[in-house]
Amino acid sequence: MAIPDPLEDDLAKIGGIEGLRSLFPDDEALETLSGRFKALADPMRLRILILLAPGPLCVCVIRETLGIADSRLSYHLNVLKKAGLIAGEPQGTWIIYSLTPVGGRALSFLEGE
Amino acid sequence: MAIPDPLEDDLAKIGGIEGLRSLFPDDEALETLSGRFKALADPMRLRILILLAPGPLCVCVIRETLGIADSRLSYHLNVLKKAGLIAGEPQGTWIIYSLTPVGGRALSFLEGE
DNA sequence: TATCCATTTCATATCATTTTGAAATAGATC
DNA sequence: GATCTATTTCAAAATGATATGAAATGGATA
């Protein structure tokens, strides 16, 4: 038996299984959202967001502050960029990264906890 | 060269590398925070949170709605529980899961996007 | 054009998460 | 106590994410 009898009534009141399923956003929206959370789910990436909160910084300063290898930083910057949390603006020889509006909001959620 | 000369001045104004490092929470806090985001970083787990938003549900109804195997659901419920986003209350033969306050706030952040 | 330097890309190794199906647990009912 | 059923646990396989160092890119300057 899938659903025990005593629960069937409660379930019916809220529209049954189909009623519950209607709560879900479509798969694409869920992927986007969970992808954003995935980007936030790493201490090194949270450090990068925290660094960018006061204002934009170039890659070299971020690298020096975090004390990690170039390629490793580049990987994490790319994850954040793909998730729409930061944006990079080439400026002469170097690239300046800053928080996007979404990135800023994610960070304030972070600080609200 | 670590930091290009033209950037040194800007960097000095914001307290240098050490000034930037002082922005970081300690490692443990970052682990806790990224751990919570990790729990949110999966479409199936987001579906579970969305299901529980209107009110508590038993495991069997959640399983039937999601259409996944028992053990798989149990795994995801456990991830959410460990992250403090949901709580399970045994009630007779079955177990009733509900959002915690933190889980509710995470969900509203989710919907605010 | 040759060179320099900041950043990214790539291949590969390592590590972590997720899925799957079978077996265990534990509470309720007979 | 025996059995039934909802849920969890476990081990293994499959999949995905991260770290690392060497090589490539591409803009700036000489």
pLDDT in tens, chain A (113 residues): 477 776 777 788 888 999 999 999 999 999 999 999 999 999 999 999 999 999 999 999 999 999 999 999 999 999 999 999 999 999 988 999 999 999 999 888 766 65
Give B-chain residues touching A46 at CB under 8 angstroms. Answer: 30, 33-34
Q: What is the pLDDT of residue A12?
A: 85
Shared domain for B79 and B105, answered yes or no, is yes
Those residues of chain B that have pLDDT short of 50 are: 1
Shared domain for B52 and B102, answered yes or no, is yes
**Separation between Cα atoms, residue A70 and residue A73, nearest integer Å:** 5
Query: How many percent of chain A have pLDDT more than 70?
Result: 94
Domain count, chain B: 2
Q: Map tokens 């959640």 to a residue.
A: B62
CATH number for B53: 1.10.10.10
Residue A75: name the closest of A110, A44, A41, A100 by CA: A44
Q: Between A7, A41, A55, which is nearest B34 by CB?
A: A41
Shared domain for B46 and B84, answered yes or no, is yes
Shared domain for B64 and B11, answered yes or no, is no
Shared domain for B34 and B46, answered yes or no, is no
Domain interval for residue B80:
42-113
